[in-house]
């Protein structure tokens, strides 16, 4: 109850009409009136609202987890890649991140002398700036959050932001004393400093791999990931913000939007349904319903809302033809599902990748793979049902096959958990693969389609290909003259070299 009461107070302070100057904090008209123990959890709450809502939603389309329902049109721009800056897909998140979470983080860093609070704040700052870069490639960083002295902060390139926040985490951790404890309320790790250090190491692992795959200082970062994995000082459980309740404005933000405010807009996408089915994966029932027309699982072809109807003969293609999303989930906890910044499943799959790619340790990789699969099933209250997925390891004969399996199972495990990271990892690993089978053939049951392969939207505003980045926020364009010129969303971010 204490967590819920605190979260309710924090979320009440987040508004949809934030001032668009990211160097001012309109969310809190008098920050001197906010007690220090509330400033830190407001950083956590702001990040949860931004990344766990709007960003989580559009990233789920790009990861091809769900699609626009045939008889609705709320998200047709996203589904068919027809959006631009005027669509303002991430404007709310941008305002909450900069005018809320990061401004509050800066206040903690400016005012707190507690090294534990400062370290945890620095880790959260690193996380959310990583998310910004992974969306837009550049982000206000070195000149941001400086008040009136810099009214138009520059957007730093993503590689520099990554290096900057990694250095910040290193410095903040080196300042910790042996028995440092947090003063602030903490809705992620309940003030457990070992967990915060483990989360920082997981973020390092995630970012180091992106340096490696971008071809940046490969030898150095390869040694770094090997050291992290060998030392194994990571968080246990999940790095997740908790405290939601099934009440208005207190629910998980993605659930609140899609199950309550704009219900009925999403159905399951063809790739994730086909992959779960191909492996007889019981997780398909976690958040996907059988269709009402035939009582079977069937996903919508990406961008195929109208094309499906055109190619369905004389029958109209309706919502009943496709599998709906079950927002409440099979465990009944959709409304109160935590916001995940880093799941244990993702962490273990990254460890498995490192052991396969850089350490020639197949046994260690299998152990991490098993731990990742098991962690995901347990997170869905489906523990004990994972035997079939664990057995897939022995069916993968080569190292490349095993690595592909690790990537695919990471994608399968991030559905409903962390769509932003799913989209980012798709771009980094090029996995799932992008099919060359025409959409119409897939729609009609073409046997050459490989279950789980991504599918170009049947109607594709880009002409061809997939979305590789998000547009810059329109609010940034309007209020910061240093916002970079618009680029096509088919342009990769700095670490996407595959």
Question: Quick one: which of 348, 413, 347 has its CA closest to 380?
Answer: 413
Span 231-274, pLDDT tens digits: 999 999 999 999 899 999 999 999 999 999 999 999 999 999 99
**CATH architecture for segment(s) 2-479:** Alpha Horseshoe (1.25)
Q: Output the pLDDT for position 208.
A: 99
Task: Write the CB contacts of 352 (distance below 8 Å, at least 6 apart in sequence).
Answer: 364, 365, 366, 368, 369, 372, 406
Q: List the Cα angle 44/470/240 in 5-degree steps.
A: 25
Model confidence at 23: pLDDT above 70: no
Domain ranges of the chain: 2-479
Span 63-97, pLDDT tens digits: 999 999 999 999 999 999 999 999 999 999 999 99
- The percent of residues above 70 in pLDDT, for the chain, comes to 93
- The percent of residues above 90 in pLDDT, for the chain, comes to 89
Q: Output the pLDDT for position 314.
A: 78
Max alpha carbon distance in the chain (Å)? 72
> What residues form DSSP beta bridges with 340?
240
Section 4-25 average pLDDT:
46
The Cα 227–Cα 205 span in angstroms is 10
Q: Output the pLDDT for position 35.
A: 62
Model confidence at 109: pLDDT above 50: yes
Question: Quick one: which of 369, 457, 460 has its CA closest to 413?
Answer: 369
Q: Which DSSP string do the residues of 336-378 spell out, in sequence order?
A: GPPEEEE-HHHHHHHHHHHHHHTS--HHHHHHHHHHHHHHHHH
């Amino acid at each position: 109850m204490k967590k819920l009461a605190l979260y309710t107070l924090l979320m009440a302070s987040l508004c949809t009409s934030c001032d668009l100057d990211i160097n001012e904090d309109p969310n809190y008209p008098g920050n001197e009136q906010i007690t220090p123990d509330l400033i830190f959890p407001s950083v956590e709450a702001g990040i949860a609202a931004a990344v766990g809502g709007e960003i989580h939603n559009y990233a789920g389309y790009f990861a091809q987890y769900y699609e626009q329902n045939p008889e609705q049109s709320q998200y047709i721009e996203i589904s068919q890649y027809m959006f631009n800056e005027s669509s303002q897909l991430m404007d709310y998140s941008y305002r909450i991140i900069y005018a809320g979470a990061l401004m509050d983080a800066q206040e903690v860093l400016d005012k707190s002398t507690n090294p534990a609070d400062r370290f945890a704040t620095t880790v959260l700052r690193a996380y959310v700036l990583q998310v910004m870069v992974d969306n837009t490639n550049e982000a206000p960083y070195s000149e941001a959050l400086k008040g009136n002295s810099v009214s138009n902060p520059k957007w730093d390139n993503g590689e520099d932001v990554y290096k900057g926040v990694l250095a910040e985490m290193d410095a903040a951790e080196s300042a910790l004393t042996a028995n440092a404890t947090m003063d602030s309320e903490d809705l992620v790790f309940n003030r457990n400093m070992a967990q915060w250090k483990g989360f920082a190491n997981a973020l390092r692992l995630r970012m180091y791999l992106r340096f490696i795959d971008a071809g940046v200082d490969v030898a150095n970062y390869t040694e770094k990931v090997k050291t992290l994995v060998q030392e194994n000082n990571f968080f246990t459980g999940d790095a997740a913000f908790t405290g939601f309740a099934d009440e208005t404005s207190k629910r998980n933000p993605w659930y609140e939007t899609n199950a309550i405010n704009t219900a009925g807009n999403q159905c399951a996408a063809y790739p994730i349904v086909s992959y779960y089915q191909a492996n007889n994966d019981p997780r398909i029932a976690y958040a996907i319903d059988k269709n009402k027309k035939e009582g079977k699982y069937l996903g919508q072809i990406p961008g195929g809302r109208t094309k499906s109807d055109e190619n369905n003969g004389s029958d109209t293609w309706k919502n009943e033809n496709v599998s709906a999303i079950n927002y409440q989930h099979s465990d009944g906890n959709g409304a109160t599902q935590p916001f995940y910044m880093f799941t244990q499943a993702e962490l273990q799959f990254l460890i498995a990748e490192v052991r396969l790619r850089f350490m020639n340790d197949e046994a260690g990789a299998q152990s991490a793979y098993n731990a990742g699969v098991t962690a995901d099933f347990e997170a869905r209250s489906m523990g004990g049902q994972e035997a079939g997925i664990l057995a897939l390891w022995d069916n993968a004969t080569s190292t490349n096959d095993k690595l592909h399996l690790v990537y695919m199972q990471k994608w399968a495990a991030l559905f409903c958990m962390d769509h932003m990271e799913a989209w980012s990892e798709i771009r980094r690993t090029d996995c799932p693969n992008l099919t060359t089978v025409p959409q119409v053939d897939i729609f009609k049951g073409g046997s050459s389609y490989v279950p789980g392969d991504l599918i170009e939207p049947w109607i594709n505003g880009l002409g061809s290909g997939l979305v590789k980045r998000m547009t810059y926020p329109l609010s940034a364009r309007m209020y910061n003259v240093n916002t970079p010129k618009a680029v096509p969303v088919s342009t990769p971010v700095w670490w996407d070299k595959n």
